Amino acid sequence: MTAAAAKGGEDAGGLSEGVLGGLVGYRLRRAQLKVFEDFLASFAPLGLKPAQFSALVLIEANPGRSQREIAAALGIQRPNFVAMMDEFERRGLARRHRSQTDRRSHALALTEAGEALLRQGRVIVAAHEARIAAGLSEVERAELLRLLIRLGTPAAD
Amino acid sequence: MTAAAAKGGEDAGGLSEGVLGGLVGYRLRRAQLKVFEDFLASFAPLGLKPAQFSALVLIEANPGRSQREIAAALGIQRPNFVAMMDEFERRGLARRHRSQTDRRSHALALTEAGEALLRQGRVIVAAHEARIAAGLSEVERAELLRLLIRLGTPAAD
DNA sequence: TATTGTTATACTCTATAACTATA
DNA sequence: TATAGTTATAGAGTATAACAATA
């Protein structure tokens, strides 16, 4: 760290950060932008964005759940999840089955193609994680996850 | 932590998180959403959003810098920063002065009203920080900031 | 030629109201 | 009445191309 950075904080262009550097929210935003940038590039070959990947993971881990349940778990508004499911079905990655107990709701499940894509996704995401956490030891990465969970896990509300 | 959460991860609705729970990018996104939610509510009385607050802080800490420099430091595209500066001038918070050395660029500075608003903002942001980091010790909060900087500081590219 | 601020524009994300079919 | 999925829509946020003034 430079002397200037130690005093008030200074960015790449030589500008002082003022109070920003010490704000968790500001650091979160900058870190997330950078991590998502790497994710987007990593998953471009699979044609998946972060929200789509997380939705597929959640559907696979919780087959038979409704759109409302999956969307809520991801913090996605129900109306906005409709288009995502439409695309999943169009690409043959997931399907909506009529629930046997409540004909209003859709029981979601991955297709074979969806499972296959997720297998590729898990390989890619592992490389992505290793890349973004390259400057951290395994202990530090675990500590970062622990602190982030304490900050933001909806379940901890 | 519940037994289920220890195994594969489980959210508030009882859904398994699958691989998501161990991903830095996913945890960053969820944490940032929650933190920004608190920020937005905290700063509603001042009429400032996170990007606006950070821009005002940066202008105050670096008076005389150009729009391009301030925008670049925040990761904002130059065209998108124009409307933000327009609003700052309309509300009397900041001004664009013609640079004496390069008549193409604008030397930015806060007005008295802008400085006054920022003084209120710094009080509010301190309370906001205390609130979101309530579950963390001071050591943990410092460690979180350190790890986030390692992940995402553009200067560390 | 290159750069600053600007305009226009488009694309994505996100949020809300209202409809339908079921419950 | 209330809920699940859906449609329509509107508002942010973000990205690029192109122009005028200036370097």
In a shared domain, residues B41 and B56: no
In a shared domain, residues A63 and A8: no
Domain boundary among B45, B64, B81: B45
* B57 at interface of A, judged by CB pairs closer than 8 A: yes
The bridge status of strand A106-110 relative to strand B94-98 is unpaired
In a shared domain, residues B69 and B142: yes
What does the pLDDT read at residue B8? 60
In a shared domain, residues A55 and A108: yes
Cα nearest neighbour of A37 on chain B: B25
Higher pLDDT, A154 or A76: A76
Task: List all residues 6 or more positions away from B33 whose beta carbon is below 8 Å from its beta carbon.
Answer: A75, A152
Higher pLDDT, B154 or B76: B76
In a shared domain, residues B56 and B35: no
Span CA (A1) to C1' (C10), Å: 41
Pick from A58-67, A146-155, B42-51: least confident: A146-155
Domain around A6: 1-45
Q: How confident is the model at residue A6 (pLDDT cuts 50, 70, 90)?
A: very low
What does the pLDDT read at residue B13? 74
The fraction of chain A above a pLDDT of 70, given in percent, is 90
What does the pLDDT read at residue A67? 98
What does the pLDDT read at residue B54? 98
CATH number of domain containing A52: 1.10.10.10
* B76 at interface of A, judged by CB pairs closer than 8 A: no
* A13 at interface of B, judged by CB pairs closer than 8 A: yes
In a shared domain, residues B17 and B78: no
Which positions on strand D lie below 7 Å from a protein C-beta? 3-9, 12-18, 21-23
Span CA (A81) to C1' (D1), Å: 26
Pick from A103-107, A152-156, B4-8, B66-70: least confident: B4-8
Which among A58, A65, A136 has the least Cβ separation from residue B18? A58
Structural domain count, chain A:
2
In a shared domain, residues B37 and B63: no
Rounded Cα–Cα distance for residues B97 and B64 (Å): 8
In a shared domain, residues A35 and A100: no
In a shared domain, residues B41 and B117: no
In a shared domain, residues A21 and A80: no
In a shared domain, residues A72 and A120: yes
Q: How confident is the model at residue B152 (pLDDT cuts 50, 70, 90)?
A: confident
What does the pLDDT read at residue B49? 98
In a shared domain, residues A40 and A54: no
Own/partner long-range contacts of A149-152 (Cβ < 8 Å, ≥24 apart): A149/B27, A150/B135, A150/B136, A150/B140, A151/A24, A151/B31, A151/B34, A151/B35, A151/B132, A151/B133, A151/B135, A151/B136, A151/B144, A152/B27, A152/B30, A152/B31, A152/B32, A152/B33, A152/B34, A152/B35
